[in-house]
Structure 1
Amino acid sequence: MKILGIESSSIAASCAIVEDNTLLGEFTLNHKLTHSEKLMPLIENLMSSLDINISDIDLIAIDEGPGSYTGLRIGAAIAKGLAFKDNIPLVNIASTEALANNIKTVDIPIAVLIDARGDRVFHGIYVKKGDEMEQLEEIDAGTIQEFLATANEKYREMIFTGDGAMKHESLITEIFGNKAFVADEYDSIIKAWSLCVLGYRKFLKGLTINSKDFSPNYLRPSQAERNLKKD
């Protein structure tokens, strides 16, 4: 089974193709070009390099968010278009789960923090149990101060990952002290291969969806919608 993973929820754009749990190839760009300019060419270049056509793909794993409104919208449009054309099933993966999957440590809570501008973050908490991942807290949005205050009361130690963790590392250290470990930049970027791995697990559980039924999980209105409400 060949799985195409598509990631566009943050500044990084990534795509990967995995076959039978073997990574065939992955391209990741962490650069300030718009996803509308770089994501589809990235996918086309990857498939060309591997001599693979879209008709060879059996499953598409797409990041559903939360994250960048524009990035998620572009990624969704590309994934839905590719899936619809060749009737390929989709699996949707939360960006927080994909980031947690970067961390290999087991039995220690993993706090995923995604920058939502200012002092706000999208957040989720997971823990790895062997090869499985358990979600400890629902994905939500709030201020970094509120999240850290609550988490510090509930957990004795914690691993932090995501661009929100890197942005607020000094505050995390101030509140958690030596109870916290903040992942490096490499493990704080979502990789498309992670979407493929998690997507395959969902596929085995029968959790695929039709392309027309997929929509991103924005968790909050777009900036344009917020500005409209102010008017």
Structure 2
Amino acid sequence: MRLLGIDSSTPLGSVALLEHNQIISERSQSPSSGGSRSILALIDQVLTESDLTIEKVDGFCLTVGPGSFTGLRVGVSLVKGMVLAAGKPFVPVDTLEAQAFTVAPCGQPICSLLDARKKQVYAAQFGYDGDRIRRRTEDAALFPEDLVETIQEPMLFVGQGLDTYGEWLSRHLGSRFQRATHLKPISVAAAAALLADAEFESRKSCDLNSLVIHYARKPEAEFKINKSVVQQHSD
């Protein structure tokens, strides 16, 4: 089976092609790149390198958040278009889980971290059971101070959120903070494809209404609309 994995929810967007449970091609974009054209270019590069067309792909998987609101909308729109055009199913994958899966199997728990802006982080804890990743906590948008309260044991941290909060967490967690260094040589999109492949038959869908973004926090636009409604009712 060929599965095209897409991640547009993290700063380093990526696309990967999996065939027979092996990543045969993957590409990433620079943090300064963005938009649907960048992801489409990565898709084209991966398919061209593999000498395939989109019609030869058996399915799609996409990281659906939490992460960049704009990036998530771009990714979901692209995958919906490809599902309609190719008539192939998709599997949604949690961004923090895919990011945690880039850590090599180990005996320590993993905290997957993304910068959520507004002085918050998106975080969730995972652990390995053999070579399978298992969730320990639900995704949450937390202030770093609140995240520290949830860390009760030495933990491996991974993800772009470390660029902003790594030093702060190291100071406040002490020996409980360990930056993950033994990483698999794969992108988040490749990790998502491997996770989706393991459960593709049981989770695949062609229902585009079920392809929804997992924000973990209300988008700013929705927050402003709700605030405006409250103000109108109070006037």
TM-score (norm 2): 0.89
Deviation for aligned residue 1:106: 1.7
Equivalent residues of 1:80, 1:211 under 8 A apart? no
Q: Identity over aligned residues, as a percent?
A: 27
Show the counterpart of 1:128. 128
Query: The residue matched to 2:25 in structure 1 has which SS?
Result: strand
Alpha-carbon distance in 1 for matches of 2:221, 2:89: 31
Equivalent residues of 1:166, 1:182 under 8 A apart? no
Show the counterpart of 2:50. 50
Equivalent residues of 2:36, 2:78 under 8 A apart? no
Alpha-carbon distance in 2 for matches of 1:66, 1:125: 14
State the one-letter code of the partner of 1:46.
V
Alpha-carbon distance in 1 for matches of 2:46, 2:103: 25
Flag the structure with higher strand content. Answer: 1
Show the counterpart of 2:206. 210
Show the counterpart of 2:196. 199
Equivalent residues of 2:26, 2:187 under 8 A apart? no
Equivalent residues of 1:112, 1:165 under 8 A apart? no
Q: How does 1:23-38 map to 2 (within 5 A)?
A: 23-38=23-38
Unmatched segments (≥5 aa) in structure 2:
229-235
> Does 2:7 align with 1:10?
no
Alpha-carbon distance in 2 for matches of 1:21, 1:195: 12
Deviation for aligned residue 1:31: 2.6
Alpha-carbon distance in 1 for matches of 2:39, 2:88: 19
State the one-letter code of the partner of 1:87.
G
Query: The residue matched to 1:12 in structure 2 has which SS?
Result: coil
Equivalent residues of 1:4, 1:16 under 8 A apart? yes
Query: The residue matched to 2:13 in structure 1 has which SS?
Result: strand
Equivalent residues of 2:124, 2:137 under 8 A apart? yes
Aligned-CA RMSD value: 1.8
Alpha-carbon distance in 2 for matches of 1:21, 1:196: 9
Q: Deviations over 1:197-221 (max 9, x none)?
A: 00101214x1112241211111222
Alpha-carbon distance in 2 for matches of 1:24, 1:217: 28
Q: Which moved more, 1:38-47 or 1:63-72?
A: 38-47
Equivalent residues of 2:110, 2:157 under 8 A apart? yes
Change in CA separation of 1:211 and 1:78 when aligned onto 2, cut-off 3 Å = farther
Unmatched segments (≥5 aa) in structure 1:
none
Q: How does 1:1-231 map to 2 (within 5 A)?
A: 1-151=1-151, 154=152, 156-183=153-180, 190-204=187-201, 206-212=202-208, 213-231=210-228
Query: The residue matched to 2:40 in structure 1 has which SS?
Result: helix
Equivalent residues of 2:73, 2:213 under 8 A apart? yes
Deviation for aligned residue 1:190: 4.9
Alpha-carbon distance in 2 for matches of 1:211, 1:39: 22
Alpha-carbon distance in 2 for matches of 1:190, 1:69: 20
Equivalent residues of 2:119, 2:143 under 8 A apart? yes
Q: Deviations over 1:23-65 (max 9, x none)?
A: 2110101231222231112111221222101111011111010
Alpha-carbon distance in 2 for matches of 1:137, 1:2: 31
Query: The residue matched to 1:193 in structure 2 has which SS?
Result: helix
Equivalent residues of 1:122, 1:140 under 8 A apart? yes
Query: The residue matched to 2:225 in structure 1 has which SS?
Result: helix
TM-score (norm 1): 0.91
Q: Which moved more, 1:2-11 or 1:42-51?
A: 42-51
Query: The residue matched to 2:111 in structure 1 has which SS?
Result: strand
Q: What is the aligned length?
A: 225
State the one-letter code of the partner of 1:144.
P
Query: The residue matched to 2:51 in structure 1 has which SS?
Result: coil
